[in-house]
Structure 1
C-alpha cells in the first residue's frame, strides 16, 4: 500500500480547490510520479492500467487545478471493501487531501454494499494510522515482513459496520471539519458509460 503522509504540511490557502474524480488513463503519468515519491516498491504503469480496467475496482484522483496531487484505490470482495492504495504528493500535502480521498472512497464502498472496509499500512506510518483512526479503522492483525525496502510488518486495519447511520454521522463530522468544501466530479463516470475513448485520455 502506498504511503499516506501528513495532511498538514502545506497551508490550506496555498492549494487551489481540490476536486476528487475517477482515475482515467490521462492521469496515470502524474499518478506514477506520486507513486515513485511515496512508495519504496512502486506500482508499474502496467499494473495501474490493469487495475483501473478491472471490474469491482474503484480508483480516484485528487486534482488541484489540473495537477494530480493524490490518488486512492479500492477493490470489492463480497460485502467488503479493501483499500489498495492511498497516496498524496509530498510536495502538495495540505488541504486534507488524504481525508478527501478517504471520504469519497468509503462512501463509494458503502454505496456498493460494503459493510466493512479493510487495508494494510506500515506499522511505522504514524500519519497514515492517525488518518485511518479518524475513519474508525482499528488494528486486527499483523502481516509479518509484508513491506520491503525496508522490510517491515503491515498492520491489518478494519472498519466494521460502515453501512450504519452512526458511521454516516462519523463521515459527515469529518467532512464538516474540512477547511474548504468537498468537491466531487463524476463526469469521468459519465464519459466512461458513454464509451468515451477520446485522444485526450491517451497516455
Structure 2
C-alpha cells in the first residue's frame, strides 16, 4: 500500500505502540520495558504509519553482526494491508546499513501467518525452543535469515 510510511520509534509513538502491543500479544511488554527500548543502545525499532496513524511497529537488538527481532505487531484493524511486510523491509534495511549479516527471531508454532511472512523474506526454520511462551507453554520456532 503506497500510503504506508516507515519512521523511527520515538517517545511520541509510545501510547499507540503500547495499545498495539496489548491487542497483539497474550503477554505484552510493559510501558516500562518499551520505554527502556528508546535508550537501549542495542535496540532499533521502526514504526509504520498509514495517513499519520500508527498501525504497527517492529524492533530488534543488534549485537555484533547479528540482529534478533524482539517484536513485530500490526494493529488488528490494519492487518493484511502490507504493514508487516513494510516492517520487515525496514528492519532488513537497518541491518544492511549497519553491516549486520544475519537476523533471527522466535515465532509461536501456531502463528502460521507470521511464519509464512518470514519465509517470504528468506527466513528458514532452524530450531525449536520448547515451552518458550509463558502464557500457554507453546513452543517457539527459531528462524534465521543469513547473508543479508
TM-score between the two structures when normalised by the length of structure 1? 0.70
- 1:64 matched to 2:50? The reply is yes
Q: Give the greater-gyration-radius structure (CA).
A: 1
Report the CA distance between 1:151 and its aligned residue: 2.0
- 1:133 matched to 2:119? The reply is yes
Match in the other structure for 1:85: 71
User: In the TM superposition, what whole-angstrom CA distance separates every residue of 1:99-127 from its partner, at most 9, and x where no partner exists?
Assistant: 00100111101211111110000011000
CA distance in structure 2 between the partners assigned to 1:143 and 1:128 by the alignment = 17
How do 1:3-14 and structure 2 match up within 5 A?
A: none
How do 1:101-116 and structure 2 match up within 5 A?
A: 101-116=87-102
Give secondary structure in 1 for the equivalent of 2:70. Answer: strand
Q: Given the alignment, which residue of 109, 133, 144 partners 1:158?
A: 144
Match in the other structure for 1:42: 28
Report the CA distance between 1:73 and its aligned residue: 0.1
Report the CA distance between 1:77 and its aligned residue: 1.1
Report the CA distance between 1:137 and its aligned residue: 0.5
Determine which structure has greater relative contact order: mean sequence separation of CA pairs < 8 Å that are 6+ residues apart, divided by chain length: 1
Report the CA distance between 1:150 and its aligned residue: 2.2
CA distance in structure 2 between the partners assigned to 1:142 and 1:64 by the alignment = 35
CA distance in structure 1 between the partners assigned to 2:137 and 2:125 by the alignment = 19
Segments of structure 2 that go 5 or more residues without pairing to the other structure are none
Match in the other structure for 1:32: 18
Give secondary structure in 2 for the equivalent of 1:28. Answer: helix
How do 1:10-25 and structure 2 match up within 5 A?
A: 17-25=3-11
Q: Which runs of 4+ in 1 moved over 3 A?
A: none
Q: Is the 8 Å Cα contact of residues 40 and 148 (structure 1) preserved in structure 2?
A: no
Bigger helix fraction: 1
Bigger strand fraction: 2
TM-score between the two structures when normalised by the length of structure 2? 0.96
